[in-house]
């Protein structure tokens, strides 16, 4: 009996994934999902508690896993001595950035749902959640190394928000454009170099 329930659960999620990808969250039909999965709408409500529950069940493992890794990676860097943080600020994350992009591609359809089909769900601002974590540690980094980047006016909260969101939106543009993994690694590496040069100019006061 348990095996049968597990089979229904997986079938519903797969049918829901197809429905969300084809129609988006707001236009997805519970009746269509139930029909494709060979079960009743009542059974789906019992298992998932509504449309938002189905969407969450599909994307939460990938989304929450990335957010947790992202937070942990920033926290590990923040715990380094200030001199090491200053020295490695623009080189520390290279291998982790490659892992970041690979993780997205290892869960590609999940992030297709998040970037293109999540309007109306808690995941609609997923990119902003990444940016908020990054911005929090950006402030901590400036404080740790004794930078005057905020006091001098070279960086404001609004500018940091614009730049950080632009960076992560650019990364996920590879998903929106259905870009092959190898091509995405090339383009996102170029994107990262571009933004690192800009951040270095802002933090070090170049070009003033």
Question: pLDDT tens, 60-98?
Answer: 999 999 999 999 999 999 999 999 998 888 888 788 999
Q: How far is Cα 159 from Cα 149, in angstroms, rounded to an integer? A: 12
For the chain, residues with pLDDT lower than 70 are: 1-6, 206-208
Residue 208, pLDDT score: 54
Alpha carbon 92 to its chain centroid, in Å, reads: 20
N-term to C-term CA, the chain: 70
Residue 1, pLDDT score: 36
Residues 6 or more apart whose CB falls under 8 angstroms from that of 181 comprise: 101, 102, 105
How many CB atoms sit inside 10 A of residue 129's CB?
A: 16
**pTM of the complete model beyond 0.95:** no
Instruction: Report which of 73, 90, 203, 76 is spatially closest to residue 143, judged by C-alpha positions.
Output: 203
Per-residue tokens: 168 = 């992560």
Per-residue tokens: 200 = 């270095």
Residue 91, pLDDT score: 83
Residues 6 or more apart whose CB falls under 8 angstroms from that of 39 comprise: 8, 11, 12
Q: How far is Cα 60 from Cα 66, in angstroms, rounded to an integer? A: 10
Q: Which residue has the tokens 């942990």?
A: 72
Per-residue tokens: 74 = 């920033």
């Amino acid at each position: 009996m348990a095996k049968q329930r597990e089979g229904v659960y997986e079938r519903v999620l797969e049918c829901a994934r197809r429905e969300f990808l084809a129609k988006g969250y707001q236009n997805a039909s519970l009746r269509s999902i139930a029909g494709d999965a060979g079960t009743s709408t009542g059974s789906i409500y019992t298992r998932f508690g509504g449309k938002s529950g189905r969407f969450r069940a599909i994307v939460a493992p990938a989304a929450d896993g990335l957010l947790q890794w992202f937070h942990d990676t920033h926290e590990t860097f923040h715990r380094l001595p200030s001199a090491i943080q200053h020295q490695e600020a623009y080189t520390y994350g290279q291998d982790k950035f490659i892992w970041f992009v690979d993780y997205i591609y290892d869960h590609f359809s999940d992030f297709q749902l998040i970037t293109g089909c999540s309007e109306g769900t808690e995941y609609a601002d997923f990119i902003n959640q990444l940016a908020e974590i990054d911005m929090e540690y950006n402030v901590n980094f400036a404080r740790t190394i004794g930078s005057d980047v905020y006091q001098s006016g070279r960086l404001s909260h609004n500018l940091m928000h614009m730049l950080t969101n632009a960076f992560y939106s650019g990364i996920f543009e590879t998903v929106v454009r259905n870009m092959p993994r190898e091509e995405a690694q090339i383009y996102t590496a170029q994107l990262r170099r571009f933004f690192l040069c800009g951040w270095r100019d802002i933090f070090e006061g170049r070009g003033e």
